[in-house]
């Protein structure tokens, strides 16, 4: 009935670090690599400014090789955040279009129906009640 093989998909209860934590971890790793390269160059007798500049240049390709796993996690976190934001944006657009009523709108409709003689105002009622803007001639 149940297989003894572990599932290849992450469980719903499994929690992966968020985008901010992953970016922070990757940034700290790159800064640490820069510090190590700079320290090695300083021990070799290279002046501080040149050691930092060479460290910056060397840290980029080294971090691509050494932190491949962290970069993969960062890419996955960015993709997850992008997908989540895309879904939230689409849900908001659907609510604004009126395609998918949310619970607050349903509750507001119920309140409007309970108030006798006070239905929701339509866009055609608004200009008659509106006063002209004093800043316009």
Do 20 and 53 meet the contact criterion of CB atoms below 8 Å apart? Answer: no
What integer is the mean pLDDT of 106-124? 54
Averaged over 109-122, what is the pLDDT?
53
Alpha-carbon distance of 33 to 58, in angstroms, equals 9
pLDDT, average across residues 97-123 = 58
Question: Angle at Cα 52 formed by Cα 47 and Cα 55, nearest 5°?
Answer: 120
Q: Is the pLDDT of residue 116 over 90?
A: no
Tell the burial category of 71 from Cβ atoms under 10 Å away from its Cβ (0-12, 13-18, 19+): middle
- Predicted confidence at residue 12, as pLDDT, reads 46
Q: Is 13's pLDDT higher than 50? A: no
pLDDT at 109: 58
Cβ-Cβ contacts under 8 Å for 118 (sequence gap 6 or more): 112
pLDDT the model gives residue 32: 95
Q: How is 46-95 classified by DSSP, letter by letter?
A: --HHHHHHHHHHHHHHHHHHHTHHHHHHHHHHHHHHHHHHHHHHHHHHHH
Evaluate whether 87 touches 94 at the Cβ level (below 8 Å).
no
The pLDDT value recorded for residue 43 is 96
pLDDT in tens, 23-46: 999 999 999 999 999 999 999 999
């Amino acid at each position: 009935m149940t297989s003894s093989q572990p599932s290849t998909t992450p469980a719903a209860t499994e929690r992966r670090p968020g985008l901010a934590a992953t970016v922070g971890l990757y940034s700290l790793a790159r800064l640490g690599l820069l510090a190590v390269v700079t320290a090695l160059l300083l021990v070799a007798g290279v002046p501080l400014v040149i050691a930092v500049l060479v460290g910056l240049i060397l840290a980029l390709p080294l971090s691509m090789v050494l932190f491949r796993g962290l970069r993969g996690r960062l890419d996955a976190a960015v993709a997850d955040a992008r997908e989540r934001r895309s879904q939230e944006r689409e849900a908001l657009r659907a609510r604004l279009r009126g395609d998918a009523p949310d619970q607050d709108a349903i509750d507001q409709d119920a309140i409007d129906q309970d108030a006798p003689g006070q239905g929701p105002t339509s866009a055609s009622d608004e200009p008659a009640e509106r006063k002209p803007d004093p800043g316009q001639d």
